[in-house]
A and B are shown apart, each in its own frame.
Chain A
Amino acid sequence: MPITHVYYLASGLWLLGLAGVLLRPDGWARTLALVVMLVGAATVLVGAARAWANADIHGLAALLLALAGAYAVVLATLSPEPDREGS
């Protein structure tokens, strides 16, 4: 399994999230896009751990994934609901 495959997948996810962050106007969609970006970054570390045969990198990736989850939860609970009256 070449490691480049997972790098391409990670770059696709990261760029996808970046486009969402830049283009979506509401906070909810931006939150999801940021989660996609963070998960893409963690995917890079999976490939790096395999490439260098270093399992320590898994710890960093796990931290990043936990951060993505916590980040999504906090922002989801803090983000205001869409106001149907236009404000």
Chain B
Amino acid sequence: MMTTALFAAFAAVALAAGVVAVWRAPAWAPMVLALALAGVMLLYEATGLALVTVAAVGAAALVMRVVRSPARAGAPEGGAPPPARLGARRIAAVTGAVAGLVFVLVGTWARQFLWTGRELAPGSGWGKLPGLGAALAGAPGLLGVGLVIVVAAAACAGPPRHRI
């Protein structure tokens, strides 16, 4: 129970850091993501990977921060221009692509991992379209995460740059 609570906390921090990384792209987000994932890896008895995660992703975040610093970039005062809205077509295309991917991922993982080693009976309909639909219907959390990701990314994405 305690382990599950710890995992939920680490996972929430990791997903929040991922959302921030995609939304605002700050240089510190990968570091927070790496630390949270290191906690998850410790829970899954991958201590070496926890160290590698913090070292590799953390070092990358540090370099990105240095590269991005105003002193190095020579950015003028006032910051970047505010992002504008995306087109409806682009959002619809990405939504369709992500939904299809979730569909495939859930079906594949359900067959590969949840029912590992179980032989399918001849003529079984498992893994076919109705089965995948049922699997998705049974994973409302994943569907919710996918929906939130698409909506949040669409809401915060910037427009194509204007060219003169």
Contacts and interface: CB of A to CB of B under 8 A. Distances in A.
Contact of B73 (A24, A33, A46, A81): A81
Given A1-B43, A51-B116, A65-B52, A23 B33 contact: no
Contacts, number: 197
Contacts of B45: 50
Contacts of A17: 18, 22
Interface residues of B, number: 72
Contacts of A12: 15, 18, 142, 145, 149
B22 A22 contact: no
A36 B22 contact: yes
Contacts of B160: 25
Given A26-B158, A65-B53, A73-B60, A5 B7 contact: yes
Interface of A: 1, 3-9, 11-13, 15-20, 22-26, 28-29, 31-33, 35-36, 39-40, 42-43, 46-47, 49-51, 58, 61-62, 65-66, 68-73, 76-77, 81-87
Interface of B: 3-4, 7, 11, 14-15, 18-19, 21-22, 25, 29-30, 33-34, 37, 40-41, 43-46, 48-49, 52-53, 55-57, 59-61, 63-64, 67-68, 73-76, 78, 80-81, 86, 90-91, 94, 97-98, 101-102, 105, 109, 113-114, 116, 141-142, 145-146, 149-150, 153-154, 157-164
9 contacts: A5-B11, A15-B98, A47-B113, A50-B45, A61-B49, A69-B56, A69-B57, A72-B61, A81-B74
